[in-house]
Amino acid sequence: MGDDTFESLKNKHTFIKNNDLKVICEELENVCTEGNHYFYCTGPPDENTNNNKVKKLQYKFQGNKNRLLLNEGDFKLFNVNLSKWCTYFKYWIYDQVITNVLDDNDITEVFQLLEHDDKVIGFYKGELYNTCKFSIYKLEEVKKMKLLYDYFENYDSKINKSSINELICNSEYKNDLSEIIGFYNNRDTYCKQQSNVYCKELDECAKAYGFDNLSVLQCNGDNTHLPQARASQPLDSSNGEHIRSSSPGDTGENLQSNHGHMSGENVSIKTTVAYSLSVIGVFGFFLFLYKLTPFGSWLKKYILNITNNPNNIEQKVKHNLLENELEADNINFIEGSHYISYNPS
């Protein structure tokens, strides 16, 4: 059997809340059973594999692929909103991968059925051919997307919270779900700058569920609660793996902001220390001149001379002012003599 956490997510949460999804998964699961459209599954998909779990899932996958293409019968998946059918199909196939405990090699074998179809399945609705492309082939990636699907299915937009929070917080998948929520909330930034395996899946989720952003996963004991999550790390464009930062909760913007803030503080501290050392150095230099050189004796005599002879300075100033005043009077007197008039009696 598969992981107990994923079994609980499916049977105790998602299928209870969304009965249509439960019925769709049951139809997809039973497509190759005797007496129920068995002809869709004729012919061994891959005779080279010896893994019975892989063969079994290949039959189911091939049967559903044929049934979609022929577009026959009463198939509930045909009647769901076109924006959701691909997400619902992936919910089923990812659940099968986890339930049957397949590894990366097994997953690759299963999806070899799409090797000549550009990794795409689809069906016609009228003249429109609706496609669903697969790009995830690693168990770790499959689990993260399955967690995100269950988070969406149990998300309450009125309170910005999913009912599976407590279950995930008490499991080993807390960081995985937090990480994929961060990728979803920042999908526009990452997917426009580089290509990675999650981009197609995240875009499908946005169309299927209609949320631009999700609230972060908040567990008891967490220090902060943010209304919306941000990407904790960028994705590696080659394999979709994340590049871990020094702290799982820090985003690139927060790290850059904190680095800038710390750098500013360091510059301020260095400037203050340098100024203090300069002042101390200047003071020490003058103290050295005063104590150990003739400069100290000369400075002392100069200060005493100014202190003991303030009257001399004042008298000199007054003398200079008086000379200036007398000189000005003489000039005025000389100039005024030209205007003395003679009046004969």
**Unique residue bearing structure tokens 């927060």:** 254
The structural domains of the chain, with segments of one domain joined by +, span: 1-134, 295-323
**Unique residue bearing structure tokens 């209304």:** 227
Tokens of 141: 């990636």
Tokens of 56: 């079994």
Tokens of 260: 């800038």
How far apart CA 165 and CA 147 sit, in angstroms, is 11
Q: Tell me the CA end-to-end span of the chain in Å, nearest whole number.
A: 147
H and E: helices and strands count for the chain: 14, 4
Residue 342 has pLDDT above 70, yes or no: no
Residue 135: what are its φ and ψ, rounded to 5°?
-140, 0
Please list the helix, strand and coil fractions of the chain in percent, rounded to the nearest 5, in that order: 60, 5, 35
Q: Which residues contact 110 (CB under 8 A, 6 or more apart)?
A: 54, 57, 58, 61, 97, 102
Residue 260 has pLDDT above 50, yes or no: no
How far apart CA 142 and CA 189 sit, in angstroms, is 22
Higher pLDDT, 167 or 275: 167
Task: Give the pLDDT of residue 345.
Answer: 38
Q: Which residues contact 273 (CB under 8 A, 6 or more apart)?
A: none
> Predicted confidence band at 305 (pLDDT cuts at 50, 70, 90)?
low
Task: Give the pLDDT of residue 239.
Answer: 41
Q: What is the pLDDT of residues 79-131, one digit of tens each?
A: 899 999 999 999 999 999 999 999 999 999 999 888 878 899 999 888 889 99
How far apart CA 66 and CA 37 sit, in angstroms, is 11
> Predicted confidence band at 215 (pLDDT cuts at 50, 70, 90)?
very high
Contact 32, 41 (CB under 8 A): yes
Tokens of 66: 């044929």
Residue 203 has pLDDT above 60, yes or no: yes
Residue 238 has pLDDT above 60, yes or no: no
Contact 38, 73 (CB under 8 A): no
Neighbours of 115 (CB within 10 A): 8
DSSP assignment of 230-249:
--SSPBPTTT--B---SSTT
Residue 35 has pLDDT above 80, yes or no: no
Q: What is the pLDDT of residues 170-201, one digit of tens each?
A: 999 999 999 999 999 999 988 887 777 899 99
